[in-house]
């Protein structure tokens, strides 16, 4: 079942279980999705203020959907890593299969971090220009999306530790550094 179709209490029970998925990567994506929904609320309450809130609302909706999908994709990517490790030692291409799975499992949380940074930016704009009666909601959105960013990056880093392709690793680190330059992001 897709995570978005689950009841909140059931998702939390799955999360707390010994099963490796869902784990930190999926919750980081969900934190980003909650932040995107909060931005949606603030933009709806600010629509009469400025024309551009309609566009921000659409962007926030899109990001919310993408982050919800990323929560599922994170679980699937991690399951493929475990499957690769379970391949018989003597099977040809085993190491390549593991490396490929690890690379994918680092790309999914990087995307979660990228989308969450996009939410941080929208929330920052809402804090400055949005309906000031909803400013605390916009600020909470920054907090949650920031947690989505740093949480997702923890998952990128843990996978990079086992990735042997140093060029891939350097490129990923560069992308992470670029993300952290967002000014509305809280200090890590």
Q: How far is the CB of 150 from its own copies (least distance, A)?
A: 5
Residues 6 or more apart whose CB falls under 8 angstroms from that of 134 comprise 41, 42, 45, 46, 126
3 binds its own copies (CB under 8 A): yes
One character per residue 139-158, x = contact with its own copies (rule: CB under 8 A): xxx-xx-xx--xx--xx-xx
Q: How far is the CB of 94 from its own copies (least distance, A)?
A: 20
CA–CA separation, 45 and 130 (whole Å): 8
116 binds its own copies (CB under 8 A): no
> Are the CB atoms for 172 and 105 separated by under 8 Å?
no
Q: How many CA atoms lie within 13 A of 166 on its CB side?
A: 0
Q: How far is the CB of 32 from its own copies (least distance, A)?
A: 11
Is 1 or 89 the residue whose CB approaches its own copies more closely? 1
CB atoms within 10 A of CB 11: 19
CA–CA separation, 121 and 112 (whole Å): 14
Residues near its own copies (CB under 8 A) are 3-9, 11-13, 15-18, 23-25, 27-28, 30-31, 33-38, 40-41, 44-45, 60-61, 64, 68, 134-137, 139-141, 143-144, 146-147, 150-151, 154-155, 157-158, 186-188
């Amino acid at each position: 079942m897709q995570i978005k179709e689950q009841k909140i209490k059931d998702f939390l029970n799955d999360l707390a279980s010994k099963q490796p998925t869902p784990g930190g990567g999926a919750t980081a994506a969900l934190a980003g999705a909650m932040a995107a929904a909060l931005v949606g609320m603030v933009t709806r309450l600010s629509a009469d203020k400025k024309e551009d809130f309609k566009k921000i609302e659409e962007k926030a909706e899109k990001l919310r959907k993408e982050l919800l999908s990323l929560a599922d994709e994170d679980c699937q990517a991690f399951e493929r890593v475990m499957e690769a490790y379970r391949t018989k030692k003597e099977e040809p291409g085993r190491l390549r299969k593991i490396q490929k799975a690890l690379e994918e499992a680092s790309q999914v949380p990087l995307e979660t971090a990228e989308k969450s940074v996009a939410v941080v930016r929208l929330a920052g704009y809402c804090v400055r220009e949005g309906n000031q009666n909803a400013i605390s909601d916009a600020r909470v959105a920054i907090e949650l999306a920031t947690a989505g960013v740093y949480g997702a990056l923890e998952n990128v880093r843990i996978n990079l530790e086992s990735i042997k392709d140093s060029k891939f690793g350097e490129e990923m680190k560069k992308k992470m550094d670029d993300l952290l330059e967002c000014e509305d992001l809280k200090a890590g």
